[in-house]
Amino acid sequence: MEQSFDALEKECLACHKCALCSTRKNVVFGVGKTDAEVMFIGEGPGEQEDIKGEPFVGRAGMLLDLMLDAVDLGRDKNIYIANIVKCRPPHNRDPLPEEQDCCIDWLLRQIELIKPQIIVCLGRISAMRFVDPDIKITRQHGEFIEKDGILMMATLHPAALLRNPAQKPDAFADFLKLREQINRVCEHTY
């Protein structure tokens, strides 16, 4: 029998598989609708996420929420948001490959239970895992590929957009493409 989502979360909150558990304040499991047809996958929690135990609640998260809202998506409404690693890497460094390998099974199990039609990778680290290990995100963002029956697309990370606002129109164009794909393949998102 399939494990329930709540049981998976409970198990994850007690995880001690890698060293990040010793510096975390909270495990950031994920947020949103567990029947979502669209999943967003970021890299790992930052300071605010670590404090609150929820993904994308800092400045980058506020920008993400604005872009989501512009295409009628929202974490309280019709999507699920999670990260490649569930615990904050110290000083917001990139999660190490071994930390990602240790943690990825939680995310794969979330995907297995949610069964999304579409996965949107936020930034390079997530895109390397799901779209293409050699991805050049500045060139390949907004391109949809299908893997195991799931449409996958990488877009620019909202934290990168805060650093380089000139890229915001490119990211917004990705969200408009996402809306088209949702209209094409999803049944109850809109």
Give the ranges where the chain is alpha helix by DSSP (H): 5-13, 47-52, 59-70, 97-114, 124-130, 137-140, 158-163, 168-185
Stretch that binds ligand URA, among 42-50, 66-74, 93-101, 134-142 (CB under 6 A): 42-50
Q: Report the residue count for the chain.
A: 190
CB contact at 8 A, 103 and 24: no
Q: Does residue number 32 form part of the binding site for ligand URA (CB under 6 A)?
A: no
Residues with Cβ within 8 Å of residue 4, at least 6 apart in sequence: 113
> Of 94 and 143, which has the nearer Cβ to ligand URA?
94
- Distance CA(40)–CA(31), nearest Å, equals 10
Stretch that binds ligand URA, among 1-9, 41-49, 108-116, 134-142 (CB under 6 A): 41-49
- Three-class secondary structure of residue 153 per DSSP: strand
Choice from 30, 32, 44, 89 touching ligand URA (CB under 6 A): 44
Stretch that binds ligand URA, among 37-45, 101-109, 112-120, 138-146 (CB under 6 A): 37-45
Q: Does residue number 95 form part of the binding site for ligand URA (CB under 6 A)?
A: no
Q: Does residue number 65 form part of the binding site for ligand URA (CB under 6 A)?
A: no
Which residues bind to ligand URA, rule: CB under 6 A?
42-46, 49, 55-56, 60-61, 83, 122, 159
